[in-house]
């Protein structure tokens, strides 16, 4: 393994404290592994009209087209020829968990988001940032300038996972927030009732946005490595359950698998990219997912 590629490992990247360097090393490691330039073929001009949907600014309606077709179309600008990306970060307290890994789910997600932001800025794609807990807590408008990267990284480094989360509500708010067709890269552990979340995701899709859902779980949440009697405490709600970990493992894994399968099926049906991640996995999987998505769009 080359030196750059090793930065794709969470335990290695953890040794680098500066987030910008982390992003840089991850992307470089990733690109070195691809053996081909990701920039090639992505600068395609693009302009179009699209059907007006609820949430669009009525000022954007192209009345000339309306006159011709008697239907509402929203006028797309040339600025949209580059993909506009939003890094949507879950700030719930559960994201700050790890059992025995070097990075918490939140660290992992931030590292990943930084890398994707780095990648996009270098592709001259505008990148914005949305953070949410029970509601949207902060946002950064997308820009493609070089300074945008440092702004995003600065913003990310200040984030801290606290409190409870309402993913569905936050996503609905995000959908209302976006005026243009964008690529939403959502980083969350999705530990909430899946039905509203899926509904919100569908809403995003209906608004014409592309969505990549990075489902970030801790390695312990994926493997359930506990033994004997354990009392488990939910950090968000404070709920406690004493279980026989060995007897529970199969049931837990089955339940998790069922949960993931449900997301996978629903997302697949809605053409949402659902990416299963855990904190022990290298970052390239997430980056590759992004590039594949971009390639599919152009």
The residue ranges that bind other proteins (CB under 8 A) are 16-22, 93-100, 104, 106-107, 110-111, 150, 153-162, 189, 191, 217-218, 220-221, 223, 225-237, 239, 241-244, 246-249, 251-252, 254-256, 259
| Nearest distance in Å: CB 107, other proteins | 5
The smaller minimum CB distance to other proteins, of residues 110 and 275, is found at 110
| Nearest distance in Å: CB 177, other proteins | 24
Q: What angle do CA 124, 130, 134 make, to 5 degrees?
A: 170
The smaller minimum CB distance to other proteins, of residues 36 and 258, is found at 258
| Nearest distance in Å: CB 279, other proteins | 11
Query: Distance between CA 52 and CA 57 in Å, rounded?
Result: 9
Question: Cα dist. 184→85, 119, 212, 278, 291 in Å?
Answer: 6, 15, 6, 20, 13
Query: Distance between CA 103 and CA 54 in Å, rounded?
Result: 40
> What pairs with residue 87 in β-bridges?
129, 185
| Nearest distance in Å: CB 42, other proteins | 26
Strands 127-132, 210-217: pairing is unpaired
| Nearest distance in Å: CB 247, other proteins | 5
**DSSP conformation class of 71:** S
| Nearest distance in Å: CB 285, other proteins | 20
The smaller minimum CB distance to other proteins, of residues 79 and 253, is found at 253
- In 3D space, the residue among 133, 115, 134, 107 whose CA is nearest the CA of residue 219 turns out to be 107
Q: How far is CA 273 from the centre of its chain?
A: 10
CB contact set of 184 (below 8 Å; sequence gap of 6+): 85, 86, 88, 174, 178, 204, 209, 210, 211, 212
| Nearest distance in Å: CB 222, other proteins | 9
φ, ψ of residue 39 in degrees (nearest 5)? -75, -20
The smaller minimum CB distance to other proteins, of residues 57 and 265, is found at 265
């Amino acid at each position: 393994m080359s030196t750059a590629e090793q930065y794709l490992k969470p335990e290695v990247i953890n040794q680098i404290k500066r987030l910008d360097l982390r992003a840089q090393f991850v992307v470089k490691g990733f690109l070195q592994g691809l053996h081909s330039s990701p920039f090639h073929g992505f600068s395609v001009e693009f302009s179009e009209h699209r059907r007006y949907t609820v949430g669009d600014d009525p000022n954007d309606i192209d009345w000339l087209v309306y006159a011709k077709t008697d239907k509402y179309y929203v006028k797309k600008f040339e600025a949209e020829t580059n993909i506009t990306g939003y890094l949507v970060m879950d700030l719930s307290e559960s994201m700050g968990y790890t059992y025995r890994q070097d990075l918490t789910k939140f660290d992992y997600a931030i590292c990943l988001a930084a890398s994707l932001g780095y990648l996009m800025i270098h592709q001259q794609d505008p990148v914005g940032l949305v953070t949410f807990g029970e509601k949207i807590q902060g946002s950064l408008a997308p820009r493609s300038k070089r300074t945008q990267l440092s702004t995003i990284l600065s913003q990310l480094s200040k984030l801290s996972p606290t409190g409870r989360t309402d993913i569905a509500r936050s996503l609905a708010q995000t959908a209302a927030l976006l005026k243009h067709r964008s690529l939403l890269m959502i980083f969350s552990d999705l530990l909430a009732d899946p039905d509203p979340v899926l509904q919100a995701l569908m809403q995003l899709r209906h608004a014409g946005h592309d969505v990549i859902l990075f489902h970030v779980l801790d390695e312990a949440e994926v493997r359930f490595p506990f033994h004997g009697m354990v009392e488990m405490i939910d950090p968000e709600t404070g709920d406690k359950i004493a279980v026989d970990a060995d007897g529970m493992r199969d049931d837990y894994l089955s339940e998790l698998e069922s949960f993931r399968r449900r997301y996978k099926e629903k997302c697949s049906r809605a053409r949402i990219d659902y990416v299963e991640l855990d904190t022990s996995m290298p970052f390239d999987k997430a980056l590759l997912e992004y590039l594949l998505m971009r390639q599919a769009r152009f």
